[in-house]
Structure 1
Amino acid sequence: MTRSASSAPTRRRFLRAAAGFLALPAVGRAADREPPRRLLAIHVPLGMMPQFFFPKRGEATSPYLDLLAAHRPAFTTFSGLSHPGVDGNHHAGQCFLTSAPHPGQPTFRNSISLDQLAADRIGGDTRFPSLAVSVRQGEHYADSVAVARSGVPLPAETSAEKLYQRLFVPGTPADRAAALRRLEAGGSVLDLNLEKARAVTRGAAGEDRERLDQYFQSVRELEARLRRSAEWEARPKPAVDYPPPRDVGDANQVIAKSKLMFDLIRLALQTDSTRVVTLSLSTFSVVPHVPGVKSETHGLTHHGNDPDKVAELRKIEEAQVTAFGGLLAALGAVKEAGGSLLDRTQVLYGSCMGNANSHSNRNLPVILAGGGFKHGRHLAFDEANNTPLTNLFVSVLRHLGVETDRFASSTGPLRGLTW
């Protein structure tokens, strides 16, 4: 018996029904329930001068870490970490969260990033499973460090105004209707592809059937994302006590732009709009508005140990580290059940550039703050025979509730890091 077109359960009807059902206020987490775990990964493409970042042997601090002294119990620094096989100088930035090898090669293909694997597991209960954000001038390597499972970089939002609107400005009824139409169109495309795939499946066997099974699994995952998107279109966006920001027009105001994005990321995490965020803070092609700085940053990183250039670059990097300290303070000031927003947010800060002066991708500067780990230490690994940075990623994933023993090039969780 053939169903009539009017009675067939189409995705269009499903999406509309889902949106209509969820138009009622959703029941949120109980006020006294344990707050969720979160991840914020920040990449600084040009790195930090190692002589000012890493503590000297037998010491626990350094000139840059002294700028974070107020937060010392809340973070851990690492030395002797890198991504095996990740080379290519600035090309390596796109692999900061993936560890895919040899990014400078013509045949290079990236892989899923740490944040996207985390979002797959913990991002399903929020309006945005993840957010990719960037501060940059022009197009450069690693403008976004979020990479999909397919190896394609996810576009990063560079406008504070647009990010605020996505997060907190309610759409008009016409906007919501248009969004649902776009979702319905996506469902129609899936229907068409599924019909074609089912026809092929009938004659498939062996490995071909396995590939088709993987395809159907991908389609089911996409359908789930479409359903969630339709549901969120019917829910009100959170209200925040923060005025709509204006974009900073001067690209050289990179520190001011960074602080603005820090504010919006804090609000996104605080309102549980997302639990996974990546941020790329690029100083390529800018002369930062920092007292005493008159030169473009990238040129300064190739200082050749010239004292004047080193001093100028140090001012820029100190301003970046100080701004990062402001973010830690802001996250720590937001109180949640049993602690603070920082206590429940793992903040990864670092670079795939170990020494920009020599284009080295070894001994990467890395900080992990918050998240409930036992901090206040410098974990030093072999600087000649580096430990995989992905070992740290395994520990990060485990503490987010993702049960895994491996990620990319890892050999297990990182020794010495506990919670």
Structure 2
Amino acid sequence: MHITNRSIYLPRRTFLRGLGVTLALPFLECMLPSVMKAAAAPNGGLRRLVFMYLPNGMDMGSWTPKGVGDRFELSSTLAPLAPVQKQVSVLSGLAHVQARALGDGAGDHARANSCFLTGVHPRKTAGADIAVGVSADQVAAMQIGKNTRLPSIEMSCEKSLRQAGACDSGYACAYQNNLSWRNENQPMPPIGDPRLIFERLFSTEDQDPDLIAGRALRESCRSSILDVVAEDAKAFQKNLGTTDRHKLDEYLTGLRETEVAIQQQARFQAQQASKPKPAMEKPEGIPTEFPDHVKIMYDLMALAMQTDSTRIMTMMVQHEGSNRPYPFIGVNEGHHDLSHHGNNPEKMGKIAQINKFHIEQVAYFLGKLQGMKEGYGTVLDNSMIVVGSAIADGNAHQHHDLPVLLCGGGGGTLKPGRHVQFEKETPMTNLYLSLLDRMGVKADKLGDSTGKLEKI
């Protein structure tokens, strides 16, 4: 394998630096020695753990595939995953029992959201005395977060979410609007603004006065992040071989495109702000069009994983109970309203349309990861990505036989490309224990877990 004429070797955590910027790099061939050492480590080396939440359940008839094992047939909702089917397992039979009422009455959406990563039944309160449990992502972040620049990232495709007051049948808004919990009383609010995510990934948070001053100067001049590291990048490329130069160029081009897309949205919103205000509240979402917002957020997630900026991520695409309409696919009614379909075929069909739209975006994200080379495989090969919901049929608010996907190869520890049927009422948290173990995270129990899954 050709590295460079100078045979240089770089550590995996190599950065380009400029005015107020610390820019992580993708995996390059000249980092192979350090990656080989990591692969020999007890935890199996570089792996990522990502949790993605889709709200309001699914039309399970359109979700559930035919057959089990590795010869299963994708359902109509899951059909967009065909290009990456060998990297995706459909898991059936998992449950979140703690999302049920258990004597607390209504409030399934708040319980589903807060229970999804904790496996804990939330205390029913609309006050400040919230209590649920530590989420799986934060269990991982507390143990291995120190290995990356950011311990974890929490994201959403909503601009802002209420964190105070009551939202769902006497449950505090914090339950319904957060997936990630640092402890039983402290949620980790997700970020919905792609500009803030971009800055968090690629701008320094150091207390170095020169770097802080440099960042202020860059922003005052509205400079591109890539422009301010251009000199360092140019000098760096001289030491790389042909393959690495090509890979670095692809990475910087993708980063530039994402940055430009964010800047375009900012300019568009600035132009809109100067126009007469409409007689209605400003719609949620950055960018203005929801599909654009989802795409940019998935692009940023892929960049964070490619650069090893963090290995722990959560994405709450929309909060439980979201009543967002989807006019861009011909669905003008609110999502939550439709989920209470009363077995009306037309409403169920529209729910299936919404579900398929979200799976199309997941397929786009997985495709990006599959195209990112890393060592002898891809970023997707080295990832474990859970996509799902804590509600199955939204009409009945069922919390068993949940819609769950497990994507990626887990650094060779998973066997993707199958439909796996577990025993009924198998705790979802058993899956999380199994994934945490593969991340090198020590956890004997999580929420209502009863043990680890062996068939993933």
Q: State the TM bucket, normalised to the shorter chain.
A: 0.7 to 0.9
Instruction: Determine the structure 2 residue equivalent to 1:413.
Output: 452
Aligned ranges for residues 5-404 of structure 1 at < 5 Å? 31-32=31-32, 33-34=35-36, 36-56=46-66, 60-87=73-100, 88-91=107-110, 92-102=112-122, 104=124, 109-136=131-158, 139=161, 142-170=176-204, 174=209, 176=211, 240-241=252-253, 242-243=255-256, 244=259, 245-246=261-262, 247=265, 251=285, 253-282=289-318, 284-370=322-408, 371=410, 372=412, 373-383=414-424, 386-404=425-443
1: distance between equivalents of 2:335 and 2:136? Answer: 28
Equivalent pair of 2:23/2:202 in contact (CA under 8 Å): no
1: distance between equivalents of 2:290 and 2:58? Answer: 16
1: distance between equivalents of 2:78 and 2:434? Answer: 23
Equivalent pair of 2:160/2:192 in contact (CA under 8 Å): no
RMSD: 3.2
Structure 1 position 41, deviation (Å): 0.6
TM (normalized to structure 2)? Answer: 0.67
| Structure number, greater radius of gyration | 1
Equivalent pair of 1:39/1:276 in contact (CA under 8 Å): yes
2: distance between equivalents of 1:127 and 1:25? Answer: 11
1: distance between equivalents of 2:447 and 2:345? Answer: 39
1: distance between equivalents of 2:148 and 2:31? Answer: 17
2: distance between equivalents of 1:307 and 1:25? Answer: 50
Equivalent pair of 1:255/1:288 in contact (CA under 8 Å): no
CA shift in 2, pair 1:133/1:398, >3 Å:
same
Give structure 1 stretches of 5+ with no counterpart: 1-23, 179-235
For 1:85, give the aligned amino acid: Q
Q: Secondary structure of the equivalent of 2:398?
A: coil
Structure 1 position 257, deviation (Å): 1.2
Q: What are the superposed Cα offsets for residues 18-50 of structure 1, whole Å, 9 maximum, x if unpaired?
A: xxxxxx999x99711146111111011222221
Structure 1 position 404, deviation (Å): 3.6
TM (normalized to structure 1)? Answer: 0.72
CA shift in 2, pair 1:382/1:73, >3 Å:
same
2: distance between equivalents of 1:406 and 1:132? Answer: 23
Structure 1 position 332, deviation (Å): 0.6
- Sequence identity (%): 31
For 1:352, give the aligned amino acid: A
Equivalent pair of 1:132/1:144 in contact (CA under 8 Å): no
Structure 1 position 150, deviation (Å): 4.1
Structure 1 position 169, deviation (Å): 3.4
